[in-house]
Chain A
Amino acid sequence: MIRFLARRLVGAAVLVVVASSGALLLAHLAPGDYVAGLGPGADPARLARERAALGLDRPFAEQYVRWLGRAVQLDLGVSFRYQRPVRDLVVERTAQTALLGAAALVLASCVGVPLGVFTGSRRGGLLRSAVRALSGVLVSLPPLVSALIVTVLAARTGWLPPLGAAAEAGSPLGHIRLLAWQLALPAVALALPLAAALERLQSQALAAALDEPSMTALRARGLPRRRVLWHAVRLSLASVIGIYGLLAGSVFSGSFAVELVTRWPGLGQLMVEAVAARDMYLVAGCAAMGSLVLAAAILAADVALYVVDPRVRPA
């Protein structure tokens, strides 16, 4: 277990360095720089002073070495756009994205897994067919499209609070209520395709588990159907849990689109703004955090699988 964890941690570190360095290089290579984006026709002398103040007049290799030297000390530089430490910005925004992703995953799991048990426990039935059909539609929706649909629905019907709804919160309980209120729309938008995917996965896994020889043996021993189903669900969960690592990845990448549409101030929106502004240290910081979160999610899923399924543990 320890060797397993150590290997994964080293891999994660390499992934973070490569991803952030690549992002920094690409941001540098993109046409224009942060100062150019201040507008055409600006006084060239003033632009030159601005570039010097930001260190953009130095060769890229020098900028990169300086950045890397600070980055290993967890100093990711200062954002040109926000004039704040990149580390503080990405941590703040990652917390928002994590909140959104966690809410969406919880929502999707609470809806998708039970529905999957429902549809996988038996074949046939009008309601089961309707649920399967709906899942089929939703699972093919990219998060961008689901976010647009949910957003328009919210605005036209009032079923969900509007984008970035503002309200004053007095007490701590009020803050929690306010947060839940603001999170509702983006979380639903992100959770819809996830719930559908979980439903499909759980349904198929349960159907396969029910066909296992072990389940046949239980039925032959006279166990009630409910008890057999319980054992089959436990067996099927291993497949579903194993996929959470990949799901975390798609939640993270899907959240970028949802954040853009719903104006949720997360890492995705920050990265898009950073790229548009050519705020290269912020771009690198966002890439570093994104790859770190992804690596951590995959690792967590692997560890969870290790715990849940004794078959994957070494003898």
Chain B
Amino acid sequence: MDLRMLHHRLTVASAVAAVIGLVAFAVLRDRPASPEAPAPAARSVPVRPAGSGSVGPPRCDTTGGTLVAAIRGEPERFNPLVGAPDNTLDLLSHLLHGRLVRIDRETGELEPWLAERWTRSADGLSWTLALRRGVMFADGQPFTSADVLFTAELLYHPSANSALATAMTIGGRPLRFSAPDPHTVVVTFPAPYGPGLRLLDSLAILPRHRLAAALAAGRIRDVWTLASPHELVGLGPFVLARYEPGRRLILERNPRYWRVDAHGRRLPCLDRVVLEILGDANVEMLRLESGDLDLTWYEARPEDLARLRRLAAAGRLRLVDAGVGLDPNMLWFNLAPGAHAGDPRREWLLDTEFRRGLSHAVDRRAMVDSVFLGAGVPVGGVETPGNREWFRPGPVRFDYDLDRARERFAAAGLIDRDGDGRLEDRHGTPVRFSIITQRGHTIRERSVAFLQEQFRRVGVQVDIVGLDFGALVQRFAARRYDSIYFGLERTTTEPAANLDFWLTSGSFHVWNPSQPQPATAWERRIDELMLRLAASADPAERRRLYGEAQELLEEHVPVLTFVAPRIYLPVSTRVGGLRVSNLRPYVLWNADLLWLRRPGDTTP
């Protein structure tokens, strides 16, 4: 090698090393905190237990400013009562619209909202609500009982094809709304309904003067679309000022919002809320770190917690503990009649002992550590400690015990017949099945990989099939699967709002949906219990009924649950007035009382 060649190679190597070093330095060093960001000691905001009482009159420590929050994607339309719900539309419903009553998502209590008081009839079926007077829509038109009647008409109208309509029926029959005068509404339930007016928390009241003509003309799907955001008018704390497709929605304070603080000043505290359409947890993290985002959409992922804790310790953000999540991911098997017809594995795929054995095979504490990196709690049922009112404390029924797992499998005729460490059934068919999960959902993917390894240790082989959401739904709807690992996202803690899951006739009775008749005696019993739960107004009786239903479910294990995640929310240090919930929207459900610390204010 001559000197010129050596010199050339050294120069190239030095240049490459310099570039790599520069990039590494820039990436690895932490940026100093922005001089404008106050640096109070990081602390968690504890979640108050449900029923702990009033939180005091509303107040704004400061007024003005712009809060920047991330959302996952654009809504499909701006009318919350048309078509299917989505998370963004649900959030916008909280920010742009009002409802007759509101569930305080921190305490779980029902609050007067657009209805300031109510009475119940002797038979318990009718509620008479007195509406607040002097309330106006954002365009200055008065809010009256006619708007409530119109909203109900729209909700149940066939052209709206509203997903909410299904939830707002009792025994398949709609609620009846009537209005004896402009400031009174009577809501009549077709049958006894235990949660009562809590059902109305999800019903956004819409302006009759803006939508009635479109509904009458059969064009309700053509208004309040993404092409016509300027038509929106509501009773919420904010109005939609601007929509930038693909980028953001800009909401400004509603100058006619009805709610006032303890000093009589009209809420909200904020001037503006900007909803940035980011759609990716990594992008959210980067924006949060750079100080350009106040609230993320996604809760902190386990792999980000270490970094977030360091940033919180350095005073660059707050990491708020919102408690245990309500929705553990579930593994369920296809137990529909006719499932696995002609499949030699059918006998054990439908066998309860097989599922019990699988539950015994999973070390839930190890799953908390390895998949959730400590940010979770082991569970064995569909309720989690996050649902304080309805969760039954106690050990997991079929908890980790490999010997018991093998016993269960043996009882199902599954043993290692040829000494290769893998189980076979009575006919020599290997015990092997597939689990479908959502591709791109890292927690679910990691969880299924963990389960695959756990099951392998007891001789059960698993094939993981990652599908995108649409394909997964199609396989579920077509009943073409062995098992699915997926999760629900509830919007309420009330079990009677989840009858689609519990009842055999429910379309989300995941293991065997939409049954014309209950296929098993235990499912028939659960049907009875849940229908009585829905009708009962006695809290103790309801808890007893739900407890028995949960016990039956855990005994027969049509679904297996393993871990409920803990929800940590990274929040900018400048956001005050936080009251967090473990239900979405975690923070913005109370957006009218959020305020921003001024630069230099270090008050916790």
Q: State the A residues within 8 Å of B (CB).
A: 30-33, 36-44, 46, 49-50, 53, 81-84, 88-89, 92-93, 96, 126, 129-130, 132-134, 136-137, 149, 151-159, 162-166, 261, 263, 265, 269-270, 273, 276-278
Contact = CB atoms under 8 A, between A and B. Distances in A.
A153 B226 contact: no
Contacts of A153: 23, 26-27
A83 B225 contact: yes
Contacts of A261: 283
Contacts of A82: 74, 76, 226-227, 245
Q: Which 8 A-B pairs rank lowest in CB-CB distance, beginning with the nearest? A: A41-B508, A265-B246, A32-B470, A31-B471, A32-B474, A133-B15, A155-B286, A130-B15
B366 interface: no
B26 A83 contact: no
Contacts of B12: 129, 132-133, 136
A46 B166 contact: yes
Interface in B259-279: 274, 276-279
A166 B248 contact: yes
Interface stretch (B44-52, B179-187, B287-295, B557-565): B287-295
A37 B470 contact: yes
B471 A30 contact: yes
B161 to A, nearest CB: 5
Contacts of A152: 27, 286
A81 B277 CA distance: 15
B161 A49 contact: yes
Interface of B: 8, 11-12, 14-16, 19, 23, 26-27, 29-31, 68, 73-74, 76-77, 83-84, 158, 161, 163, 166, 221, 225-227, 244-248, 274, 276-280, 283, 286-287, 289-290, 292, 467-477, 486, 500-501, 506-508, 510, 513-514
A129 B13 CA distance: 10
Given A37-B469, A133-B16, A83 B283 contact: no
Q: Which of B14, B74, B84, B248 has the most CB of A within 10 A?
A: B84
Given A129-B11, A165-B292, A53 B225 contact: no
A277 B513 CA distance: 24
A246 B244 CA distance: 32
A278 B245 CA distance: 19
A250 B247 CA distance: 25
Given A31-B467, A37-B470, A265-B247, A158 B161 contact: no
Contact of A50 (B29, B84, B274, B467): B84
A162 B500 contact: no
B279 A263 contact: yes
A228 B289 CA distance: 53
Contact of A36 (B163, B477, B501): B477
B166 A31 contact: no
B479 to A, nearest CB: 12
Q: Which of B225, B244, B247, B289 has the most CB of A within 10 A?
A: B247
Contacts of B467: 31
A139 to B, nearest CB: 13
A43 B507 contact: yes
B274 A166 contact: yes
Contact of B246 (A33, A132, A270, A276): A270
Nearest to B17: A133
Given A32-B474, A93-B246, A133-B16, A126 B468 contact: no
Contacts of A31: 467, 470-471, 474-475
A134 B470 contact: no
A278 B473 CA distance: 12
Nearest to B469: A37
A163 B507 contact: no
Contacts of A92: 245
A155 B476 contact: no
Given A156-B289, A263-B279, A270-B246, 18 more contacts: A32-B469, A39-B473, A40-B473, A40-B486, A41-B501, A42-B84, A44-B514, A82-B76, A82-B226, A82-B245, A83-B76, A92-B245, A133-B16, A155-B286, A163-B287, A166-B247, A166-B248, A269-B246
Contacts of A159: 26
A138 to B, nearest CB: 9
B166 A43 contact: yes
A263 B31 contact: no
A153 B289 CA distance: 12
A157 B26 contact: yes
Contacts of B247: 164, 166, 265
Contacts of B486: 40
Given A31-B467, A156-B289, A40 B161 contact: no
